[in-house]
């Protein structure tokens, strides 16, 4: 299935979106297997398997998709809209809106270890300020999702910040088994 990804929630701009393959298996196949099919069929090992940066970039995008899918189940708010947000040179991984409060959730996903949340927030706070939705009456909440953190924070300037890593997500979504 092909999915249209818009740069802003409730965007009605025609032709301003991106098109992506929604199925993870087909997306990986067209991104990695198909371009190397001839080498694979000859039994040669494609150099792509050794290209760590291409694989890490692929998994980084999939991590963003994963968190975007989980966001409604994290208990943060009742979001009316969620997705990514971009405008000109500003890009935000996660943007969600709760119209009733009004709450703007802005998040960043980092597919790496030992993330410093202060550094991420230094870059993310001005990006969030560029979003014109319901200024100045809105409340802004930030989220940072990563493999692991070197430094977590709960606040940055006047804002609340949620920092979640893999083990935090596991505690929420993986039931404990008793033996």
The three state secondary structure string of 64-124 is HHHHHHHHHHCCCCCCCEEEEEEECCEEEEEEEEECCCCEEEEEEEECCCCEEHHHHHHHH
Q: Give the model confidence (pLDDT) of 123-140 as tens digits.
A: 999 999 999 999 889 999
156 and 142 in contact (C-beta within 8 Å)?
yes
Strand, helix or coil for residue 61: helix
Would you state the structure tokens that stand for residue 12, as one six-digit string? Answer: 């009605």
Contacts of 164 (CB under 8 A, 6+ apart): 74, 143, 144, 145, 146
Contacts of 8 (CB under 8 A, 6+ apart): 83, 85, 86, 87, 95
33 and 21 in contact (C-beta within 8 Å)?
no
**How crowded is the C-beta side of 108, counted as CA atoms within 13 Å?**
22
The β-bridge relationship of strands 155-156 and 159-164 is antiparallel
CA 142 to chain centre: 13
Confidence of residue 13 (pLDDT cuts 50, 70, 90): very low
| pLDDT given for residue 130 in this prediction | 93
The predicted model gives 2-22 an average pLDDT of 61
Q: Give the model confidence (pLDDT) of 86-110 as tens digits.
A: 888 999 999 999 988 999 999 999 9
State the pTM of this model.
Answer: 0.84
């Amino acid at each position: 299935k092909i999915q249209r990804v818009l740069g802003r929630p409730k965007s009605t701009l025609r032709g301003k979106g991106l098109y992506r393959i929604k199925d993870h298996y087909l997306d990986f196949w067209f991104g990695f297997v198909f371009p190397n099919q001839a080498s694979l069929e000859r039994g040669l090992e494609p150099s792509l398997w050794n290209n760590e940066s291409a694989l890490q970039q692929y998994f980084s995008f999939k991590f963003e998709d994963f968190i975007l899918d989980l966001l409604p189940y994290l208990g943060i708010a009742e979001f009316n809209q969620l997705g990514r947000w971009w405008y000109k040179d500003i890009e935000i991984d996660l943007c969600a809106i709760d119209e009733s409060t009004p709450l703007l959730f802005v998040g960043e996903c980092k597919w790496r270890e030992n993330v410093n949340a202060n550094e991420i927030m230094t870059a993310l706070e001005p990006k969030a300020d560029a979003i014109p939705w319901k200024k100045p009456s809105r409340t802004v909440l930030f989220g940072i999702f990563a493999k692991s953190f070197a430094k977590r924070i709960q606040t940055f300037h006047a804002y609340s910040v949620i920092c979640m890593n893999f083990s935090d997500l596991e505690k929420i979504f993986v039931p404990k088994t008793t033996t």
